[in-house]
Amino acid sequence: MRLEYPHRFERFGAVRIHALQQVIELDSGADEEAPATTVQGRMVQHVSARSLSDVEKRMAIVVPCKDERRKVIEGVLSGIPHDCLIILVSNSVREPVDRYDMECRTVEHFCHLAERSAVAIHQRDPGLAEAFRLAGYTEILDDEGLVRNGKGEGMLVGLLLASLAGRDYVGFIDADNYVPGAVHEYAKAYAAALHLAESPYAMVRISWMSKPKIQDGRLFFNRWGRTSQVTNQFLNLLIAEYSGFGTDIIATGNAGEHAVSMELGLRMRIAGGFAVEPFEYLDLFEQFGGVIPSPHPEVLKHTVDVYQVETRNPHFHENKGHGHVQEMRLQALNVLYHSPICLDPVREEIRTFLTEQGVIGPGEEPPAEHVYPPLLDLDRSRFLAALVEHSESFVQIRRHRIADIVVEEPILLNSPIDVDDVLDLNGMEEDLADDLTESDADA
Ligand code: GDD
């Protein structure tokens, strides 16, 4: 892959936000890595196939999923590079039709054909909640004692599973993406930027070049989503209020597609629902921005690098309507408003914006969102033991070869591997073939 060099950055304490860098070439050939070169005034970085592969082998891709169509999920899986571990975290309905069961079978079938491993779990599994409770991480539980609903909560579960699987990087890709090629490009861009990262504390965020829509009978390639525009504007305003200089550096405030090094991910607090992505910026500013004391002084000796990559594929996903966009916008602004580092002029602008939008009444404050503590201090071995004991939805799919079976669990458990389970996969092919040729009424 060839990427434009990010020629500009803004600093917020130890956090360095690099300007948007374009993907120049998706596949840059078999040549070994070469130093960055300047072509027509643009500096270009080349990341070799081998370097991409080195990162992919150490990366998990978490796919948060809530009631998405089976064929779309299948397409997403097909786009995730072979060496990345797939982690599906589902919050799909289980009655009257158990969509999670259908999703697991889709993942199993795919892994069987592609000879790869995966992990899947249902977010509302009481056994998962019990594992969090026993590990002392009760903040994530709701009044029913289950893991809260929400995309951020699903991502948190995925991040934890990725760390249990020993992966050094974790990327997130939504399950409702119609373009497998886009999924593939996102994962490659994660690998390229993480390979080039100068700090062990690194994050990559995707800004797609276009989001096509049918408008007046023709395809119109929108540059920015309706939520991103607003979130970026306010995050940039926050930086400008601190620095005294206007900026447009943040182009990925809402980036659902992003990846992080485990070193950084485990130290970050995670917000619930759709506040999750904008809050990542705020959390970095709060923890490493130097405005308030940092709980991780070891990180401050380095920089925390945020790369923003502009990808080439169009971003085609399920359109969930205006109300959904409004909800996402609101959640983004809520976390900014309530951040201890938010300055009064920014709070005032947010209040004015939300009042004009009719979201809050005059003089009202926006509601606060859930923010969960870093996973670094969670007792992981306790969590895993409890998960294995109590969860009914936790599934591990082992890499499988047709000729010689490779017994390889993504998350190593203390208990010996049940070889019969692995052998069962052989008989599963027929079952799955039947399932997957059923009518698409439930898809
Ligand atoms: N596990 C889990 N739990 N997954 C969820 C949940 C949940 O409670 N809610 C939604 N998801 C999954 C969806 O199935 C989808 O795969 C992904 O999370 C994104 O949710 P959508 O509802 O489809 O959001 P969107 O596509 O409108 O917005 C996306 O893009 C925004 C930027 O434009 C999201 O990624 C946002 O987070 C992002 O800000």
Among the residue ranges 221-235, 242-256, 287-301, the one predicted with the least confidence is: 221-235
What is the pLDDT, as a whole number, of residue 215? Answer: 78
93 touches ligand 1 (CB under 6 Å):
no
Residue 414 lies in a domain: no
**Contact predicate 273/331, CB 8 Å:** yes
Cβ contacts of 287 within 8 Å, gap of 6 or more: 267, 268, 269, 294, 295, 296, 299
pLDDT at 138: 97
- Mean local confidence (pLDDT), 206-219: 83
**442, pLDDT greater than 60:** no
Check if 48 has its Cβ closer than 6 Å to any atom of ligand 1: no
- Over residues 141-172, the pLDDT tens digits come to 999 999 999 999 999 999 999 999 999 999 99
Q: Is residue 18 part of a domain?
A: yes
In this structure, what token pair is assigned to residue 248? 């447009």
Nearest CA among 353, 236, 338 for reference residue 283: 338
Within 13 Å, how many C-alpha atoms sit on residue 413's CB side?
17
Q: Is residue 221 part of a domain?
A: yes
Residue 305, pLDDT > 90, answer yes
**pLDDT score recorded for residue 404:** 58
Contacts of 436 (CB under 8 A, 6+ apart): 105, 106, 109
Q: Which of 139-148, 265-274, 394-403 has the lowest mean pLDDT?
A: 394-403
What percentage of the chain carries pLDDT values higher than 70? Answer: 91
- Residue by residue, DSSP assigns 290-324 as SSS--S-HHHHTS-EEEEEEEESS---B----HHH
Q: Are 391 and 125 in contact (CB under 8 A)?
A: yes
User: 56-70, 250-264, 278-292, 421-435 — which is least confidently predicted?
Assistant: 421-435
Count CB neighbours of 382 within 10 A. Answer: 14
Predicted pLDDT at 348: 95
Nearest partner of 88 among 119, 58, 123, judged by Cα: 119
Amino acid identity, position 230: V
Please state, in angstroms and rounded to a whole number, the distance separating the CA atoms of residues 189 and 173.
Answer: 12
The whole-number pLDDT of residue 433 equals 42
Residue 435 confidence (pLDDT): 45
Whole-angstrom Cα distance, residue 417 to residue 181? 35
Q: Is residue 83 part of a domain?
A: yes
What is the SS3 assignment for 126? helix
Tokens (6 digits) for 65:
């999923």
Mutation choice for ligand 1 from 151, 308, 320, CB with most ligand atoms inside 8 A: 151
Quick one: which atom of ligand 1 is closest to the CA of 65? 14
Range of the domain at 289: 2-380
In this predicted structure, the answer to whether residue 426 has a pLDDT above a threshold of 50 is: no
pLDDT score of 431 more than 70: no
Nearest CA to ligand 1 atom 10: 151
CA dihedral over 279, 268, 338, 136, signed as positive or negative = positive
pTM of the complete model = 0.92
Average pLDDT, the chain: 89
Q: Over the stretch 232-256, which tens digit does the pLDDT of each residue have?
A: 999 999 999 999 999 999 999 999 9
- What CATH number is given to the structural domain containing 75? 3.90.550.10
Lowest mean pLDDT among 70-74, 136-140, 364-368: 364-368
The sign of the dihedral angle between the CA atoms of 329, 226, 257, 262 is: negative
Lowest mean pLDDT among 91-95, 221-225, 333-337: 221-225
pLDDT of residue 439: 42
In a domain, residue 54? The reply is: yes
- Does ligand 1 have an atom closer than 6 angstroms to the CB of 256? yes
Instruction: Return the pLDDT at 400.
Output: 63
Residue 89 CB–ligand 1 contact under 6 Å: yes
Q: How many CA atoms lie within 13 A of 7 on its CB side?
A: 8
Count how many domains the chain has: 1
Residue 198, pLDDT above cutoff 80: yes
How far apart CA 245 and CA 236 sit, in angstroms, is 10
Would you say 194 and 317 are in contact if contact means Cβ atoms under 8 Å apart?
no
Measured in angstroms, how far is the CA atom of residue 26 from the centroid of ligand 1?
26
Q: Considering the domain boundaries, does residue 126 fall inside one?
A: yes
Residue 53, pLDDT above cutoff 60: yes
pLDDT of 34 higher than 50: yes
Residue 308 inside a domain? The answer is yes
Measured distance CA(236)–CA(94) in Å, rounded: 41
Answer yes or no: is pLDDT of 174 > 50.
yes
Asked whether the predicted pLDDT for residue 177 surpasses 90, the reply is: yes
State in Å: Cα 356 to ligand 1 middle: 26
DSSP 442: G
- Asked whether 154 lines ligand 1 (CB < 6 A), one says yes
pLDDT tens, position by position, 314-329: 888 877 777 787 888 8
pLDDT reported for residue 428: 43
- Residue 403: predicted pLDDT: 55
Q: What is the pLDDT of residue 317?
A: 80
pLDDT more than 90, % of the chain: 74
Task: Give CA–CA dist 285/406, Å, rounded.
Answer: 44
* Nearest ligand 1 atom, CA 254: 39
Residue 425 pLDDT greater than 70, yes or no = no
* Residue bearing tokens 């007792």: 379
* H-helix or E-strand spanning residue 13: none
Question: Is 220 within 8 Å of 176 (Cβ atoms)?
Answer: no
Q: Is residue 125 part of a domain?
A: yes
The DSSP letter of residue 177 is: B
